[in-house]
Structures are given as C-alpha cells and as structure tokens.
Amino acid sequence: MLYGFSKSLVKEVEVMVAEVGLSKYEALNWLLKNYRLPLSLLMVGVGVFLSGIAKFIALLALASLTLYWLFELLFWTSSTITLFNNANAALFCFLIVISVFSIPSSYCFCGVHDEYVKFVSDALKRLNLSHREQVTLIKENMREFERRVKVRVIGLRTALVICWAWVGYLLKEAIKFAVNNKGQFVAGDSYILTLSILGGFILYFLIESYAKANLLIFKIIQLGCNEVEYKMLSENKTIRN
C-alpha cells in the first residue's frame, strides 16, 4: 500500500537523521520514539540553524584577531585605539552584509548530506518501482504530509508573535513608568521584563530549529525521489539506444 510505505519512509528517515537506535522491544521503542527522537531531531535542527551563525562568529573572531595583530605591530596609542574601534565596527558591518547575502551553496542544502539521499533512494529501490509515475505519487503523499507540518509551524510562529506582542506591551509599560518616575524601574517589573525578552528569544530559537528539522526530513525524501527518477530516466535512455 502506497500510503503505508509513505508513512514508514517518513519514520525511517526521522530515525536515520536523529541517529536514534531502536530496540526490538515495542515498549522501549515507544519511549524512544516519543521522548528521545523528538529531542534528537530538535538538536539536528539546532545544528542546521546555528551553522550560519557559527560561520559568522568564526569569521568575526578571525578577522578581529588579525586586526588586533596588525595594530599590535603599529604600537597602541590613543589614535590607533580609536582607529582600531572604528575598523572593528566597519568589519562587523561588512561581515553582516556578506553573511546575509552569502552564496546559495552555503545555505541552500538545508543540512542534507549524500548519505541521507542514498538512504531514501535505497528504500525506494526495495519497492521495485518501474514507472516514474509511481515515484511521483510518493512525492505527492509527502507534499500532503509536509502541508500538515507547515500548519503546525505556522501555529507555533503565531504563538511567538503573540509572545513578542506581550513583551512589547511590558516594555511600553516599563518605559512609561520610568518616565513618570524620573527614570526609576521597579525591580520586580524589570525582572519580569528581562525574563519575558529572554523567553521570547529562546522560543524563537526553538521554533526555528524545529521548523528546520522538519524541512530537512521532507527535503531528504524529495531529493531521494528525484534521484530514483533520474536513474529511471537514464536506464530508459540506455534501453532505447
């Protein structure tokens, strides 16, 4: 049954990407799939999400150290310190620009590796598919699954917008209170505001990591299906020749 295979393929790819070893005992498998697997997949999403940020931080650190070494050679004076600070600010802006407008090959693969695509391709081969239309139907099933996942992600992002609206309201009230009381903040209100802002950033980080992990699953399956279709086309072309 095509629907049954499509469901099992999604589950197999989840386990493969998360690198979670399943047990022969059903009860233990249930625990692994419902507790460990979601956390492992989320960590995969975190890795994909942080890959671009990590590259930016590495470039910034390397460039800053290079600048520091150059200015160390020039000897530190009040004028060189000012020049160093200005150069660092310009460097920071430059790295933001090249990170935002980076080349497609640095981000468009979404964390997909060759072995992931091969895993899906091998799984499809076990079905002994003979027509491209069969692969197309599997891809259609995956699109339906992906639509459901996107609905959940949209719901989570809506919750994030509501959270940040609440943070904005708290910030507005805190500023209004400080203006009316000559710059004084209430310690409790400041604590709540700080926690709300921190919680908003953490929530954003987790939701985007979750979204990227889900995107990775369906991208792997789509690319694996494309690989099988390509091999079918190549084989048909060889037979005709």
pLDDT tens figures, 155-191:
999 999 998 888 888 778 777 777 777 656 555 566 7
Q: What is the pLDDT of residue 223?
A: 94
> How far is residue 63's CA from residue 91's CA, in Å, rounded to a whole number?
8
> In total, how many domains does the chain have?
1
pLDDT in tens, 39-66: 999 999 998 888 867 776 777 777 777 7
Three-state DSSP string of 172-219: HHHHHHHHHCCCCCCHHHHHHHHHHHHHHHHHHHHHHHHHHHHHHHHH
Q: Is pLDDT at 71 greater than 80 in this prediction?
A: no
In which domain, by residue range, is 185 found? 2-240
> How far is residue 36's CA from residue 138's CA, in Å, rounded to a whole number?
28
- Average per-residue pLDDT for the chain: 81
> Can you give the pTM of this predicted structure?
0.78
> How far is residue 124's CA from residue 232's CA, in Å, rounded to a whole number?
12
Q: What is the pLDDT of residue 79?
A: 64
